Structure 1
Amino acid sequence: MRLSVIGIGPGDAGYLLPIARQALADADIIIGYHYYFRFVEHLLKPGAQCIGKELSEEEARAVLAVESCTAGKHVAVISSGDAGVYAMASLVYEYASKQNRQDIALSSIPGISAFQAAAARLGAPIGHDFCTISLSDLMTPWTTIEKRIHAAAIGDFVTSLYNPRSKQRHWQLSRLKEIFLQHRSPETPVAIVRQVARPEEHIQLTTLGELDVTLVDMFCLVMIGNSQTYRFNNFLVTPRGYLSRKPHTGEEIQQESFRQIRLQLKRDELSPADQWAVIRCIHSTADFEYEQLYYATEGALEQWHEYLAGGGTVITDVTMVQSGITKAFTSKYGVAVKCYLNDERVLALAAAENITRSQAGIRLAIQEHPDALYVIGNAPTALLEICDQYQQGNCRPIGVVAAPVGFVNVLESKFKMKYLPDIPSVIIEGRKGGSNVAAAIVNAAFTILEQVQ
């Protein structure tokens, strides 16, 4: 005994697969929604028994199909579209398993689903990841359906809606629209496809914001594009990828990284220049906490850009900061980047004054370049030295990047710098920082015009 669950496609005879035609021609008993027989009755063998049921009697059809299986008989259950998509296959297999009918030779015959036929009519809307959601809560709790709606909207899936709206279930589609508009543009393309692949077929293209839910009924399939979907004539096109091609050159990868970082920023009070510096800090560390740790006096980066564009001097506390400042930028503007840490005078000065080598290097630098841009990415003692020298009137830097990292004196040095008057500064608050972060801020100052304009 055989039991076949057959998808007969959306209605057009051309959409009925040859394997389905063969199974229908061999069936002795055919069970289905009575409306569907109009599409297949000419394919049945003489004497085949047709048992029609109402649309709401899906479970009764499954029970009848299993119980009609007797020796030598081939029973077929027909479903529109694909029998495995919101249709009879799951009910038939579930009932057969519960009855432990291992004597039945079960098989599923695929069909072209309504969303596939609709997609073909629309051109290329499902070229990227897509999903289908049934809005019928007759057998699925609405709370579960709504979770799936949120997931589809957040995940940016092209979404096909089955059972979108009926006289009794008229609000579900409105709720879905409300949820999708939280995550998709109102301009997102939407198609209402009614009676697809049947003589009464009608297609209306609209947008998510303009979607009129009253135009939708149970004979419709609604397809919502993703963030990349666009309209071309009377077609919908969803590109195969989110980018025409993945970035592969160093410059392309860097720019795509900047783009992704920018999308996740939260501080809207930052100036465009400061936001750019934050992006550079995050890019060098992959740590989004730097957005919250970033502090800058107003206009510091813009002032530094003018200074550097005029061929200024940058003093760093350690050679790692010096190395991290992009050579192409310094060469372009004729900027000198100096680090005194390994100057032959440093060891003697540090020993004589009982100070660290970093302090000694900064002290020597201030003697020769009291107005330079000072960039501290490692040693808090170097930052404290700048503060002390400024208070003694020995220097007036064009600015200070204060990003020492660590534990001892780190917080104190940053607080001391923050509350000094009249020094343009960028400070990475807390214990984080480092040479790469300090260098990233200087690189941001070099490039703010090309990124901010």
Structure 2
Amino acid sequence: MQLSVVGIGPGSDAYLVPAALHVLADADIVIGYHYYFQFVSHLLKPGCECIGRELSEEEARAELAVNSCRPNTHVVVISSGDAGIYAMASLVYEYAARQQRTDIQLQTVPGISAFQAAAARLGAPIGHDFCCLSLSDLMTPWATIEKRVTAAATGDFVTSLYNPRSQKRNWQLARLREIFLLHRAPETPVAIVRQVTRPEETVTLTTLTDLTVETVDMFCLVLIGNSQTYRFGEFLVTPRGYLARKPVSGEEIQEESFRQIRAQLQRADLSAADQWAVLRCIHSTADFEYEQLYFAQGQPLEHWQAYLAGGGTVVTDVTMVQAGITRAFREKFGVSVLCYLNDERVAGLAEREGLTRSQAGMRLAIAEHPTALFVVGNAPTALFELVDQYQAGRCQPAGIIAAPVGFVNVVEAKLRLKSIKTLPTVIIEGRKGGSNVAASIVNAAFTLPQGVEQAATALLNG
């Protein structure tokens, strides 16, 4: 004895799969919603018994199908679309399991579902992740349905709606629209496909904000696009990503990172040059707080770009800052990047004068390169030394980048530098900073034309 659950597609013979045609032609008994027999009766063999039931009698159909199974009899239960999607397959299998009918040879024959047929009519709306939801709360509590609706909306799924609206269940679709509008743009494309593949088929294209729920009934399937779905003539297209693939090369990854960072910047008081420096600090740390910690005076980036392009000298307090300044930039412009921390004279000077090694290294560097661009990314004592030497008239730096990091004397050293109004300066305020941040600001100066161009392009593109 055999029991088959068959999906007969959305209504047209052209959408019946060959396997379903074969099973229907072999059936001895066919059970289903009486409305569906108009689509399959001409495919059944002579003498096949057709048992029609009302739409609300799903349990009775499943029970009748299981109980009708007897030797040498092929019972077929028909469902529109695919029998496994909001249809009879699960109920038939439940009844067979409940009665432990292991003697029945069960099979499910798939069909083309309504949402697949509707999607085909619309062109390419389900080219990326999608989900199907039923708005019928006859079997599922509305609280559960609403949770799933919210998940679909926030997850940016293309969403197909079954059982969207009936005479008695006439408010659920409107509630779904409210939820989706909290998470989707008002202009999100929406399609209403009624009686898909049947002679009376209609397709209505609208938007989420203009969706008129009163035009929807139980013969409709509603499809809501995701944030990327767009209308192309009478079609809907949801990109898979082939034409906007993820960045692969190092340069592509960096440019996409810059784009994402720029989109989240908030300060309106920053020049394009300073914004570029902030962007590179965030890129090296993944910490957006650097936008608020960034302080600049004296148009430093513009000044340093010209200085470095002329083959200037950069002095750093530690070798980590030195290593973080991109070698290609240094070589392109013939810039020397020096760190005196490991100079053989440092230990003796530090011992004689009671200095830290960073402080002693800075003192030696100032004596030999008094007009350099000084970059401090670690030691607040080096920054104190630099300010002392400047105020004593022993150096005239091209500028100072102050990004020491830590707890002891870090804030005080930065505040002392901030009180000097006569130097091109960038300070990362507070306790944060570090070698990578200090180096990022130098690299921002090297690449300033690129940064300004990107800012102009971003402004042009909104």
Partner of 1:443: 443
SS of the residue corresponding to residue 140 of structure 1 reads: coil
**Aligned residues, how many?**
451
Q: Is this contact kept in 2: 1:402–1:426, CA < 8 A?
A: yes
- Deviation of 1:228 after TM superposition, in Å, equals 2.4
Partner of 1:81: 81
Partner of 2:326: 326
SS of the residue corresponding to residue 192 of structure 1 reads: strand
1:451 maps to a residue whose letter is Q
- Deviation of 1:19 after TM superposition, in Å, equals 1.0
Q: Is this contact kept in 1: 2:297–2:426, CA < 8 A?
A: no
Q: 1:75-96, CA deviations, whole angstroms, 9 ceiling, x for partnerless residues?
A: 2111100010111111111222
CA distance in 2, matches of 1:372, 1:171: 72
327-336 or 167-176: bigger deviation? 327-336
- Deviation of 1:137 after TM superposition, in Å, equals 1.8
CA distance in 1, matches of 2:300, 2:157: 41
Partner of 2:381: 381
Partner of 2:156: 156
Q: Does 1:96 align with 2:83?
A: no
Q: Does 1:224 align with 2:224?
A: yes
Q: Does 1:213 align with 2:213?
A: yes
2:84 maps to a residue whose letter is G
- CA RMSD in angstroms comes to 2.9
CA distance in 2, matches of 1:59, 1:424: 81
The change in CA–CA distance for 1:225 and 1:415 in structure 2 (over 3 A counts) is same
Q: TM-score by structure 2 length?
A: 0.87
Q: Does 1:248 align with 2:248?
A: yes
275-284 or 330-339: bigger deviation? 330-339
1:65 maps to a residue whose letter is A
CA distance in 1, matches of 2:419, 2:141: 59
- Deviation of 1:226 after TM superposition, in Å, equals 2.2
Equivalent residue runs for 1:159-178 within 5 Å: 159-178=159-178
Q: 1:128-164, CA deviations, whole angstroms, 9 ceiling, x for partnerless residues?
A: 2221111222222222222222222222222211112
Partner of 1:288: 287
The change in CA–CA distance for 1:34 and 1:206 in structure 2 (over 3 A counts) is same
Q: 1:19-55, CA deviations, whole angstroms, 9 ceiling, x for partnerless residues?
A: 1112112222211111101000111222222222222
CA distance in 1, matches of 2:399, 2:172: 59
CA distance in 2, matches of 1:333, 1:53: 85
237-246 or 17-26: bigger deviation? 237-246
442-451 or 188-197: bigger deviation? 442-451
201-210 or 322-331: bigger deviation? 322-331
- Deviation of 1:242 after TM superposition, in Å, equals 6.3
CA distance in 2, matches of 1:235, 1:172: 27
CA distance in 1, matches of 2:298, 2:10: 64
- Deviation of 1:368 after TM superposition, in Å, equals 5.2
Q: Does 1:5 align with 2:8?
A: no
41-50 or 393-402: bigger deviation? 393-402
- Deviation of 1:339 after TM superposition, in Å, equals 2.9
CA distance in 1, matches of 2:34, 2:419: 83
Q: Is this contact kept in 2: 1:129–1:158, CA < 8 A?
A: yes
- Deviation of 1:11 after TM superposition, in Å, equals 0.4
Runs in 1 of length 4+ with deviation above 6 angstroms?
none
Q: Is this contact kept in 2: 1:158–1:224, CA < 8 A?
A: yes
CA distance in 2, matches of 1:274, 1:182: 35
Aligned-residue sequence identity (percent) comes to 69
Q: Is this contact kept in 1: 2:265–2:291, CA < 8 A?
A: no
- Deviation of 1:415 after TM superposition, in Å, equals 4.9
Partner of 1:112: 112
CA distance in 2, matches of 1:139, 1:418: 68
Q: TM-score by structure 1 length?
A: 0.88
CA distance in 2, matches of 1:422, 1:164: 69
Equivalent residue runs for 1:12-51 within 5 Å: 12-51=12-51
Equivalent residue runs for 1:179-328 within 5 Å: 179-241=179-241, 243-263=243-263, 265=264, 267-268=266-267, 271=270, 273-285=273-285, 287-288=286-287, 290-291=289-290, 294-297=293-296, 302-304=301-303, 308=307, 311=310, 313-328=313-328
SS of the residue corresponding to residue 196 of structure 1 reads: coil
2:452 maps to a residue whose letter is L
- Deviation of 1:288 after TM superposition, in Å, equals 2.8
CA distance in 2, matches of 1:5, 1:299: 78
- Deviation of 1:202 after TM superposition, in Å, equals 0.9
Q: 1:431-450, CA deviations, whole angstroms, 9 ceiling, x for partnerless residues?
A: 54321221112222442313
The change in CA–CA distance for 1:42 and 1:323 in structure 2 (over 3 A counts) is same
Equivalent residue runs for 1:387-426 within 5 Å: 387-390=387-390, 392=392, 397=397, 399-417=399-417, 425-426=425-426
The change in CA–CA distance for 1:392 and 1:215 in structure 2 (over 3 A counts) is farther
The change in CA–CA distance for 1:346 and 1:95 in structure 2 (over 3 A counts) is same
Equivalent residue runs for 1:332-371 within 5 Å: 335-343=335-343, 345-367=345-367
SS of the residue corresponding to residue 361 of structure 2 reads: helix
CA distance in 2, matches of 1:357, 1:235: 70
Q: Is this contact kept in 1: 2:316–2:338, CA < 8 A?
A: yes
The change in CA–CA distance for 1:402 and 1:137 in structure 2 (over 3 A counts) is farther
61-70 or 269-278: bigger deviation? 269-278
2:378 maps to a residue whose letter is N
CA distance in 2, matches of 1:75, 1:353: 101
Q: Is this contact kept in 1: 2:158–2:223, CA < 8 A?
A: yes
- Deviation of 1:266 after TM superposition, in Å, equals 6.4
Stretches of structure 1 that go unaligned for 5 or more consecutive residues are none
The change in CA–CA distance for 1:413 and 1:61 in structure 2 (over 3 A counts) is farther
